[in-house]
Chains A and B, each alone.
Chain A
Amino acid sequence: MKSPVKYFLSLVALLSGIFVLSSFLSADWSVAPSFKFPYKKAGLTERQAAAHLLSRFTYGATPGEIDEVVKTGLEKWFEQQLDGNMPDDSLTTLLAPYDAMKMTNTQVANVYPRGGQALRMAIKDGVINKDSAREDRKEYRNELNAYMASKGLKPMQELYRQLYNQKVMRAAYSHNQLREVLTEFWLNHFNVSTTKGDAAEFIPAYERDVIRPNVTGKFGDLLLATAKSPAMLYYLDNFTSSGASANQDNNKQFQARMKAMEEQAATNPMMAEMMDKVIKGKKNSGLNENYAREVMELHTLGVDGGYTQEDVTQAAKVLTGWTVYPMSEYGGGANTMQQLARIGDDDKLKAKGYYHDGDFLFTPNRHDNAEKTVMGKKFSPAGYQEGVELLDMLAHHNATAKFITRKLAVRFVNDNPQKSLLDKMTKTYNSEDGDIRKVLTTMATSPEFWSASALREKTKSPFELVISSVRSLNATITQPYQLYSWANKMGQRMYGYQAPTGYPDKGQYWINTGALLSRMNFGLALASDRIPGVKIDLAALNKNREPESPEAALLTYSKLVMPERDVTATVKQLTPMLNDPNLGQKVAEAASKTPPPTLPAAQSDMMMSGGQEMMAAGAEPKEPKPNAGRRNGYQAQTNNKGNNTMLAQVVGIIVGSPEFQRR
């Protein structure tokens, strides 16, 4: 007979068993993170700490987000962000129209012809006359468009438009904010650029398949994935680098044949011509050091990482034969495709020393077979594996650990991170096999991360400013391209930094006279609803409670836009403006005279290493300019919705204020 007590105890045991079991089953439910953020020692409240976390690991807090983070628990929130698996259904719906963003590289290559390729195809198919193409631009444009439509081809601008739009939407709306922030970080680290024509069309898949899935993984995996991606292979020219002529130089038979040819060439013009061809062929199948240099200087070791020019040349030789698997039967790929088809499937290719992995192809006939030495390490001829070993060596080098962790600290802590912090991060990098997630955890659990020298110390980049504004105002974005254009105008052209360095991560770089004015103008335009397709509802932001006075509005909205910040200075300085007796009249005038907004002109930024494949002027994607009808409709909408114009001006100034430029 069971006593009630016993019964009760067994029930407790059973329940706790279930509890323990379930805690194993659902890690995010009850297992507490194994670390603690030391923000209290730095004198921060939990809410202030949450605001700091949001300023570092998101594109800016949305209204109420600080409460959510506190409710979730700061450490747990951070782990969720590192996991990057938060449901994102509404974002998925918003991204659904961007069909090109789901395409493989091969599909993109076959649907979005680059440069003059469509025209060449049309001429070849006899649809457009070669000579008329030059004479009547408009007519041939129409013919070309009709031809492209009939073949299911689309203009490259459409691909770019989708690329920029999805970037804005993800940054603004994703619940996996850290994943987006890190995607931008690593894309900038392993920079590729739309300004380099050959690489441009592969950027969507590069970001989606190469960068985003690896942002919190092992650095070495990320490095290898970028090295094998078409975007990088084209951007830094490695696709073309070949050791074939070096192999010929080392081949005695070939040398003897050449010598014989040379002797005959003296008297036989046909032989001379043939020899010319061989020499030219050789010259067109040579070594290109570009990637080898930048992978060491910019991706791994850093410029002071202890390598020499000879190491660069040797590394370039190791990486010869790393190229792109042909994607289109049009153009140069056709020959290679046939050659590969003759050999057979992947296993047969492998037996012949090839290596085929998705869009990547290693071709042994272009690989330099000599022994190489890079930074003291010998590479015996081993085809594809040599390159894998080289990248593995670079990923695990101490100079890389230092270089990468510093860059992360500059991004997430401040422009001049303390040595004590860097040492801890480097140690984690080295002991944890370059595990980015663990390095970030070390960083965020260090006191330096929470110290006064980190709080609000970063200057927002233009993209960060734009996105944090729309996030903090809960904007509804229907024309994300407008926001891309504004960031561009302030000096950050997404996906368009020409140099392999990527954008410098430094306040000084972003803040200059012209850019600062653009930031202020952006604030005014956004708050007064003058950016087409970006709508904000200021009343709703304050739960439709109308502030009692201009002063109350100023205080309320300063706190809403810049939560957990000291806004007294901003409020104090702006109060006199509100006391202007003509205020109401002035701002009302402003609203009624609002002309249709003009799009900022796309800039062609001249960056470090001018890629030669600059897009032709006019190749920038253009959104339709808002016409007069649109303007009227928009005005009516503004009036109906009744965003208080005084309020709009106040909020615009807050967004353009120095305090909001920082994070």
Chain B
Amino acid sequence: MTSRRGFLKQGGIALFGVGLMGGIPAFLAEAAASGNKIINPFQRRKIMVTIFQRGAMDGLMAVTPFTDENLKKARPTLFMTAAQGGKTKPLIDLDGRFGLHPSMAAFEPLFREKRLGIVHGIGSPNNTRSHFDAQDYMEAGTPFNKGTASGWLNRAVGLLGHEAATPFQAVSLTSSMPRSFYGDNPSVSISNLQDFDIQMGGNKNAANMAAKSFEDLYGQATSSLLKETGKESFDAVKMLQKNDVRNYRPAAGVAYPNTALGNSLKQIAQLIKMDVGLEIAFAESGGWDTHFNQGTENGPFARNVADLSNSIVAFWSDISQYQDDVTLMTMTEFGRTVAQNGTGGTDHGRASCNFILGNDVNGGLVHGDMKPLIKENLEDGRDLAVTTDFRAVFSEVADKHLKINNDKKLFPDWKGEKIGVMKA
């Protein structure tokens, strides 16, 4: 494992007062003992927040090319229009060609302020329509190589150009480690920050003692997986001690949806505001596999996009002091068929769209290259063609925002062009 404990050339001992076992994380104690100069380890860094929409979002319903008659024909009951006075609430007309689903109204101001950008026709060059495969390829960042052991976000951690001063450098708000985070660079996955402690029925002494025992045991574990993970766990526990995780209050007027995504983003905001050194965060959103009655202005799809946009906008307002430091990007494994299926839904397709939010985003635009949806322009005669490789967008965001410009390592085998989703 590469410099896993390389954390801390510049420790921040003063930050840790009381708490578990004297409250000094092992890596800080080591640094102090070695006499390294101690400055604030958690200087503000740029933060990239990613959201994986599992199940494949129907990009054509999220951001609809409403002037395209072909789409209207292919979707007799699912097509929505931007025109007023129709059967359903009109789409939000973004640019005369694309319309945002009305349940994502919260996004409109950010788009108009040019902080929210959209890429349409984004997807993978590998045309698999299997959720599992497509997610695996996208999260590994190598669409034609299954053997890639690491995830692209984990590689990004390694390419940040400085060693982690904190176990919270890369955090996934999931109960299990996502594929994007697989790899040798330190990362943490946790679905609830409050669980980050050894609990002994409220008795601090006993808990400390148990924690000490566990720390010793895991420190000596023969399985490297258990040993490394154990060490990370205890470092993280110590860092959260000083913060009042339980009683977090979002900024005034901010209301997160009470959903899995809302809760994840709320906790990411919490970590950002705690200044614990977060740089890469990951959250998930589910329910996008709309094979069956996906609905139009109401229904499962509308609920999903409402959750997505409201959660993101709540997060964005909550971190108002940090907006210059944060870029948020969504992703989904593929899009859905241009034509609706026989059951009021859409099947697995190819390209979808994604959203990128931040002050250095080239926003207010629908990027990408979507051709009219006539059969000749569709992939395999049925799906929205992939015109932008997801790696072009991911690498540009990582490059411009996190200053990771080693594409060869971040996305091996990819030599494509970036498309200008970020400000030059």
Q: Which residues of A contact B (CB under 8 A)?
A: 237, 240-242, 245, 276, 279-280, 282-290, 293, 297-298, 303, 309, 312, 459, 489-491, 498-501, 507-518, 520-521, 524-525, 528, 530, 569-570, 573-574, 576-577, 580, 582-583, 586-587, 589-591, 593-595, 597, 601, 603-614, 617, 649, 652-653, 656-659, 661-662
CA distance A569 to B227 in the complex (A): 14
Report yes or no: B229 in contact with A590, Cβ–Cβ below 8 A: no
For B77, B212, B229, B286, the residue with the greatest tally of chain A CB atoms inside 10 Å of its CB is: B286
Q: State the Cβ distance, A249 to closest chain B Cβ, in Å.
A: 12
Q: State the Cβ distance, A321 to closest chain B Cβ, in Å.
A: 13
Q: Which residues of B contact A586 (CB under 8 A)?
A: 203, 205-206, 209
Q: Which residues of B contact A569 (CB under 8 A)?
A: 220, 222
Known A511-B229, A514-B191, A658-B227: A521·B132 in contact at CB below 8 Å: no
- Determine which of B210, B258, B290 lies in contact with A612 in the assembled complex, contact meaning CB atoms within 8 Å: B290
Chain A, Cβ-Cβ closest to B226: A658
Q: Which residues of A contact B182 (CB under 8 A)?
A: 508
Report yes or no: A608 in contact with B54, Cβ–Cβ below 8 A: yes
CA distance A573 to B287 in the complex (A): 46
- Count of A-B contacts judged by CB separation below 8 Å: 260
For B128, B189, B221, the residue with the greatest tally of chain A CB atoms inside 10 Å of its CB is: B221
Report yes or no: B175 in contact with A515, Cβ–Cβ below 8 A: yes
Report yes or no: B189 in contact with A293, Cβ–Cβ below 8 A: no
Known A297-B132, A514-B190: A604·B260 in contact at CB below 8 Å: yes
Report yes or no: B210 in contact with A649, Cβ–Cβ below 8 A: yes
Sorted nearest first, the 6 A-B pairs with minimum C-beta distance are: A286-B342, A610-B286, A590-B206, A514-B190, A610-B55, A606-B284
CA distance A586 to B206 in the complex (A): 6
For A303, A500, A511, the residue with the greatest tally of chain B CB atoms inside 10 Å of its CB is: A511
Contacts A501-B131, A517-B197 given; 18 further ones with Cβ under 8 A? A459-B226, A491-B176, A500-B131, A507-B223, A511-B226, A513-B188, A514-B189, A520-B214, A524-B210, A587-B206, A603-B175, A605-B174, A609-B131, A610-B286, A612-B300, A649-B206, A656-B214, A657-B214
Report yes or no: B342 in contact with A293, Cβ–Cβ below 8 A: no
Known A283-B76, A287-B342, A573-B216: A649·B203 in contact at CB below 8 Å: no
Q: Which residues of A contact B237 (CB under 8 A)?
A: 517
The stretch from B115-123, B321-329, B343-351 touching chain A is B343-351
Q: Which residues of B contact A609 (CB under 8 A)?
A: 54-56, 131-132, 289
B interface size (C-beta, 8 A): 82
CA distance A309 to B207 in the complex (A): 56
CA distance A314 to B294 in the complex (A): 25
Q: Which residues of A contact B53 (CB under 8 A)?
A: 610
Report yes or no: A240 in contact with B342, Cβ–Cβ below 8 A: yes
Is B29 close to A, CB under 8 A? Answer: no
- Determine which of B200, B222, B348 lies in contact with A289 in the assembled complex, contact meaning CB atoms within 8 Å: B348
Q: State the Cβ distance, B126 to closest chain A Cβ, in Å.
A: 12
Is B399 close to A, CB under 8 A? Answer: no
CA distance A267 to B129 in the complex (A): 43
CA distance A500 to B130 in the complex (A): 10
Known A237-B343, A570-B217, A649-B206: A512·B287 in contact at CB below 8 Å: no
CA distance A652 to B212 in the complex (A): 13
Known A580-B209, A612-B289: A589·B203 in contact at CB below 8 Å: yes
* Residue contacts A-B, CB under 8 angstroms, 23 given: A237-B343, A240-B343, A283-B341, A290-B291, A290-B347, A511-B226, A512-B190, A513-B229, A513-B232, A514-B196, A574-B213, A574-B216, A586-B209, A604-B260, A604-B286, A605-B174, A606-B54, A610-B285, A610-B286, A617-B259, A656-B214, A658-B217, A658-B218
CA distance A40 to B218 in the complex (A): 32
Q: Which residues of B contact A516 (CB under 8 A)?
A: 218, 226, 229-230, 233
Q: Which residues of B contact A573 (CB under 8 A)?
A: 213, 216-217, 220
Q: Which residues of B contact A603 (CB under 8 A)?
A: 175, 191, 260
Report yes or no: A511 in contact with B54, Cβ–Cβ below 8 A: no
CA distance A242 to B343 in the complex (A): 9
Is B288 close to A, CB under 8 A? Answer: yes
Q: State the Cβ distance, B5 to closest chain A Cβ, in Å.
A: 15
- Determine which of B201, B213, B284 lies in contact with A595 in the assembled complex, contact meaning CB atoms within 8 Å: B201
Report yes or no: A515 in contact with B292, Cβ–Cβ below 8 A: no
- Determine which of B128, B192, B213, B223 lies in contact with A662 in the assembled complex, contact meaning CB atoms within 8 Å: B223
Interface 1/0 per residue, B120-163 and A, CB below 8 Å: 00000001111111010000000000000000000000000000
CA distance A512 to B189 in the complex (A): 6
Q: State the Cβ distance, B302 to closest chain A Cβ, in Å.
A: 11
Q: State the Cβ distance, B76 to closest chain A Cβ, in Å.
A: 6
Is B380 close to A, CB under 8 A? Answer: yes
- Determine which of B188, B210, B213, B286 lies in contact with A606 in the assembled complex, contact meaning CB atoms within 8 Å: B286
Q: Which residues of A contact B223 (CB under 8 A)?
A: 459, 507, 658, 662
For A524, A595, A613, the residue with the greatest tally of chain B CB atoms inside 10 Å of its CB is: A524
Q: State the Cβ distance, B197 to closest chain A Cβ, in Å.
A: 7
CA distance A587 to B340 in the complex (A): 63
Known A606-B174, A606-B286, A656-B214: A511·B225 in contact at CB below 8 Å: yes
Q: State the Cβ distance, A5 to closest chain B Cβ, in Å.
A: 66
Report yes or no: A521 in contact with B191, Cβ–Cβ below 8 A: no
Q: State the Cβ distance, A318 to closest chain B Cβ, in Å.
A: 16
Is B365 close to A, CB under 8 A? Answer: no
CA distance A294 to B340 in the complex (A): 20
Chain B, Cβ-Cβ closest to A508: B225
Q: Which residues of B contact A576 (CB under 8 A)?
A: 216
- Determine which of B214, B221, B233 lies in contact with A653 in the assembled complex, contact meaning CB atoms within 8 Å: B214
Q: Which residues of B contact A612 (CB under 8 A)?
A: 55, 287-292, 294, 300, 345
Known A297-B130, A512-B176: A577·B213 in contact at CB below 8 Å: yes
CA distance A286 to B292 in the complex (A): 11
Q: State the Cβ distance, B154 to closest chain A Cβ, in Å.
A: 12
CA distance A378 to B217 in the complex (A): 60
Report yes or no: A514 in contact with B206, Cβ–Cβ below 8 A: no
Q: Which residues of A contact B292 (CB under 8 A)?
A: 237, 240, 612
- Determine which of A514, A524, A577, A659 lies in contact with B198 in the assembled complex, contact meaning CB atoms within 8 Å: A524
- Determine which of B77, B191, B200, B261 lies in contact with A524 in the assembled complex, contact meaning CB atoms within 8 Å: B200
Report yes or no: B210 in contact with A653, Cβ–Cβ below 8 A: yes
CA distance A653 to B214 in the complex (A): 7
Is B177 close to A, CB under 8 A? Answer: yes
Q: Which residues of B contact A657 (CB under 8 A)?
A: 214, 217
CA distance A610 to B289 in the complex (A): 6
Q: Which residues of B contact A283 (CB under 8 A)?
A: 76-77, 340-342, 344
